[in-house]
Structure 1
Amino acid sequence: MAMEHPRGSGAGGGDGCLTVAVRMPVRIVAFAVVLPLRLLWDAVATAGRGAGAGLRWTWRRLLFPPLRVLGVALAWLWRTLVVIPVVFLARYLVAVPLVALWRYVLAPVGRGIGWALRQSGRGCGWLFAHLVVLPLAALWRYVLLPVGRGIRAALAGLGNGASWLGHYLLVVPARLLWHSLLVPVTVFLVRYVVAVPLVALWRYVLAPAGRGIVWTLRQTGRGLAWLLATLVVLPLSFTWRRIVVPVTREIGTALGFAWRAAGYVSRAVGRGLKWLVRVTVVVPAAWVWRWTGAPAVRALRAAGRWYGRAVHAPLKEAVAEARRTLRQLRAETRRALFGAPTSKQLPPRRPGVEPGAFGPAPEQDTADALLADAPAPTPFPAPRHRRPQNPDLSPDLAKRQPPSHR
């Protein structure tokens, strides 16, 4: 941690006298101000890291497993008590009745209404075509169209005559009057009454006055710029370059130096506290655990293993042996009272039915079938989800016949 400025050493490093005079007091004050803040910052950061690790362990080990089990249980209860009943009720109380209503009521009625509307539309179209369209077409073709052509020819002749009269009675005299009288008079008036006076006014009055005003404004601006540069810009530039920039740079350097020095002090304080906690708490706790807790835990584990081998296993074997003896005694009593079970023949296998699907299983279940006193399985009924079609109906009508959903 060098105390000198990094750009030089002492007053001979190229710094001004103001920089050298301000450097050490500013560093001392910055160190005195920044050190408590750095210690507080390091303490808060360490406490935050410890709290974050503790919260993560608590969430991962204590809160997340029961919350996960609770979520799975709630999801199962929601699905079992709400979703499945609602789906069942919606399917068999809403969907199935609506499908049946559409398929057997609304769709046939709609097809009948559509057929009736198509037939009525065809009839109305035929009537409209023969009662309205054909008379109007004949009226247009044989009456209105010839009359319109005659009127158009008459109007065309009248228009041609009116255009010839207008051209030779109005256009030609107006053109002669414009080219012979109005244009020369207008040009003379505009040139010698408006243009010549305006050009003379601009050349001999406005242009010299404007040049004089521009010169005056330019000289005034130069003077104001010189005054502003001399009285404002130069003092501000000198103050910024010689006072503000060095003082600001030294303050920033001092704050950085104080922050690094406070970091060293903070780390030293942290190492001291760590050593103190280790000597006063961790080492005694480890010694107590090594010579007291660990032997007690090992003794408890050894006692548990001895209990499992010497007590629990023989007791479990004795209970199992007693169950087996009781089961054999019950079988011997049943055999002595009711006799040995008689063998029975399996029912004949039906053609086209897989063994074990609707009757008894194959050879591995033969003993269970012989011991079970149950009647022969009834034949599986034929599926009733399709209605047999009437052979008297035509193929198209048989295809249109709706299926049965009993």
Structure 2
Amino acid sequence: MPVRIVVLVVVVPVRMLWDLLALCGRALHRTVLRPVGHGLVWVYAIVLTPVGHALAWLAVVLGKAVFVWPWVGLWRYVVVPVVTYGLVVPAVWVHRQVLTPVGRGVAWVLTGLGRGIGWTLGTLGRGIAWLVGHLVVAPARWVHRSLLTPVGHALAWLAVVLGKVLFVWPWVGLWRYVVVPVVTYGLVVPVAWVYRQVLTPLGHGIVRLAAGLWHGLAVLGRGLWTALTWTVLTLLVTPVVWLVGTLVVAPLVWTFQRVLVPIGREIGAAFVVAWRVAGYVSSAVGSAVRWLVVQLVVRPVRWLYGSVCTPVGHAVRDFVWRPAKRAAVEAGRAAAAAVRSARETIRQARRDAWRALVGGPGYAEPGEPLVPQARTLGSTTTVPGAAAEPEISLHKQG
């Protein structure tokens, strides 16, 4: 109980402050933040969005009028007609009426000349080739085939035999019958015998001796390390561990389990109970303050709103806001009509400029519409009371 009383005295102000802050936050959100947010959304949707759309449309129209329409009109009604009718059409006419017939005539003349020259040169070349073939090529081919080829084969065989006798066979015999036997039986065989009979057994013995020494040293080292480890653990580590566990760890564990855990559990339970009791106290205090606020502030404000502000607001809505809104709507309609009229004037001016530059079909003058004269189907008689159309025969109709 003393712990709970102390905790209650400490927690009650904190809980009341917490409830006060929560109440102020909810009231601020309900009375200020939410209406301000709704008002901002309404201003954005009703005021800023139409104004932004209008400004964007006006900026687009001004940008087109300043930067697009003049260049489009210049290109469409000045550059294109001038280039088309001043350059392209004359060039096409010159190419079609002058250059094409001249080019075809020149091609026909050059083709005839080429064919005649080609036929003449071909005939002359065939005659010269026949004379050279029968007077020069045939005798030379017979001499090459009957005399030069056998003599060349014999000379080539003799040169190959002499080259082998002078440059190949002596060195092959020296390498095969002198160098190879001397090196094999004078150097390779003794070296291999010494390696196999002397060096290999000697190396095996040295390796076995080194392995035995290493194994003995390893066994001795493991024994020494085991003895040293056991000595250190037995004489130093075990007593130190026992002393630390007995003099330090055991008292700390007992203190934690027997003192700190019960105290912490009791303090936690005391805080829970005190928080609940402080909630009840805070709720009672809040109810009393709420009753005072309702009696001293809310009722007078409600009476002021219902008796003064509401009639004034209705009067402002009926005599100020609605006439201003109606005038704004009429002004917007007038502005839209002016913009449509300006667009139609610009279109008409563009049509007139184009018709003045390149010409175009004229428009019929307005007048009374023509009413066709009525006739009965399949006969030449007219409907009573209507003028008959002129007679047209089937032959003239086609």
TM superposition score category, shorter chain reference: 0.3 to 0.5
TM-score w.r.t. structure 1 length? 0.47
TM-score w.r.t. structure 2 length? 0.48
Larger Cα Rg: Structure 1 or Structure 2? 2
The structure whose residues are more often helix, as a share, is 2
> Highest relative contact order (Cα 8 Å, sep 6+), 1 or 2?
2
